[in-house]
Structure 1
Amino acid sequence: MAPLNAEILGKLHAAFRPHAPIDNPDDFQGRESERERVETALITPGLHVVIFGERGAGKTSLANVATSKKNPIKVFCERGSSFSALCRSVLLKLSVNDPARLIYDARTQTIRSGGINLDLNSPTLSADDFRTLLPSGPTFIVVDEIDRIENIEVVHRLAELCKNLSTNRPDIKFVLIGVASTADEILRGHTSNVRNFRQIALERMTEAELSKIIAHGELVLGLQFDGIVKKRLVQVSDRLPYYVHLIAVSTAERALARGSQRVEVTDFELGLKAAARDCDAELSTTYEAAIPSVRESEIYRRIVWAVAEGDARVSPTAAITAKVNAIAKGEEDEPVTAQAVGAALKKLIKPERKQILTKEQNGLYRFSNPLMRGYVRLVRESR
């Protein structure tokens, strides 16, 4: 494959961004309703925003484009993040933007404003201390990956800070982002603050929204994806924008490298293989651990493939067995019993198989990592 020049590469990565959030509003496709709800909340006094959903759903991209004209302060959480550390990160970034008002002393690790001198390393840094150093006028603070915080008390203090600001500084807005299925999961049960938050759930995208991503890429690159390529790309993506961007960038790159303005099935098939290699290493490691490359492991591969089929997020043993035997039939192999599938399922939820699957209380099985579903589809389609 011939290397692309810098100009074409720049357009390619403006069209599709699987490995970095979108920050240019013109490049953000779909999620019109969610974007409008975030933007409306940001101009509503006292209302904060919590954005939640699966990995790969576009949460950070949504926050980026919705706050693009607000000059937001952005901080990222770590497992060991404390409330003081989060406040310190915000204040340090504010001091860079406004060094005349917020004077930071790197030697003493203090920040000064007027008659207030605050030790940024103090573990007792309070919400009131933080609030007194915030600038006058509208300020927007984005806290990403809040789900990573291990100490539940940190999340509770952050929620209490938002509640305090809603009353005393309604022009200060927090946007909290995290992987979760509900806002209550993000706030760790701190439901008393729900009225201060607009909850933005990012469900999987519709086929129409995913098609808009491809159409935007076509416009930016001056390319045309074959109809069958568009259809297969959307089907493999598991309705997550991450996979549409990942597969589309690899597929378009192959067409551009051969000097064509049309993305054909051959480009798509080669792009699938490249996309599988470019996926999160954790996905490939887990998949390979669950499916050893020996004849006896075919049942494990077929089970994993079966769970990735259809639109259901969870699958009962009977449905998995039926799909496993349909796959076996297509591969001209003998069927297996429900008991054999059940025994294999028990192994696939064990650590030695990287717990690729999780068993629900009602006896249903699902992928432990929601991104695994799309990865399995990608691997299966590229074989």
Structure 2
Amino acid sequence: MSNPFQDPGFFRNPYPTFAALRSASPVRKVPGGAGQSSYLVTGYAEARAAFTDPGLSKDTARFFAGKETGRNLHPAVSQSMLATDPPQHTRLRSLVAKAFTPGAVALLRPYIARVTDELLDAWVPGERTDAIEALAVPLPVAVICQLLGVPDADRAAVRTWSNELFAAGQPERIDSASHAVAGYLADLITAKRRTPDDSLLSDLIRARDGGDRLSEDELVSLAVLLLVAGHETTTNLIGNGLLALLQAPESLHRLRDDPGLVETAVDELLRLDSPVSMATFRFATETIRLGETEIPAGSPVLIAPGAANRDPARFPEPDQLDLDREPGGHLAFGHGIHRCLGAPLARAEAGIALRALATRFPRLRLAVPPEELEWRHTRLMRGLVALPVLL
């Protein structure tokens, strides 16, 4: 079969492609770049099983050992916590997990609300506004930079590098951005070592310098992962969620009128248009079986939460936004030991932002037809380039 990701309409709307693939087989071999095929998982039951299958590894260094990739990714990006297995993954995750617990996030909620209000104060009624650049980007960037102690003056550069890291089909841009962001954080670590503060980055430096089993390379890599992953998913969640609500105004009005609906709404928006369309790389360390498909040892495996979350075998009428749907069960944040560490923070930011929009601008509407919206060209993330709205 042809490469499904090369269809020019895939980035605009991947769901018909996902549905066709899932209907043919919820796990199937698809062509990839450089002649390398992968097994794509689009069924819900199969995706959930794949996330916890001990025969699937995320240790990309092991997979690519001795292979010529032609790439120049900085090790802080190519060998991050996302690309490790236990016990290394367990050790690294434990060092940052406390910063993203529900309790820790609850302490951040006033700051999130304040930044949201400040951003929305700049929106002018009657004028066209890009909700991505005016809210969906700066809010999560401000929050994760606040957590890590990144100076205000550097936040625009952080966003640019992060955006470049997900430029599908442009390896040189991705590689260059990886070196830029890793170099910046290495310098920031040096500065915070001289002048510590109460940021999460300073906490990690103390763990490293206190001999808490964290190498200097691991420190830089954790910082890169937290900075990039700490806002990318949330930016897409806010943008995709707002678009879905604008296309279903009655749901937007319900969100305005019923504060208790926020958590359920965020869950349903995560399911409907998952901010992570394709999970990061895995490979089979042994022959495994997912559903009816046998996957040989050494094969790359791609799990598609965006497809799994619209599997009609799990979610009735999966293409419909339904705020009365039983919450939970979706795979937007993954599943198992690699489930997104920042899920509580992303939920809080999206809930606060979307409710504020619904409350402050009840007549908010799209400024262009939906078919004219431009989507980011990245297989991993699902997000808008811009979302023009009218107040």
Q: If the length of structure 2 is used for normalisation, what is the TM-score?
A: 0.23
Q: Using CA pairs below 8 Å that are at least 6 residues apart, which structure has the higher relative contact order? A: 2
- Looking at secondary structure, tell me which structure has more strand per residue: 1
Q: If the length of structure 1 is used for normalisation, what is the TM-score?
A: 0.24
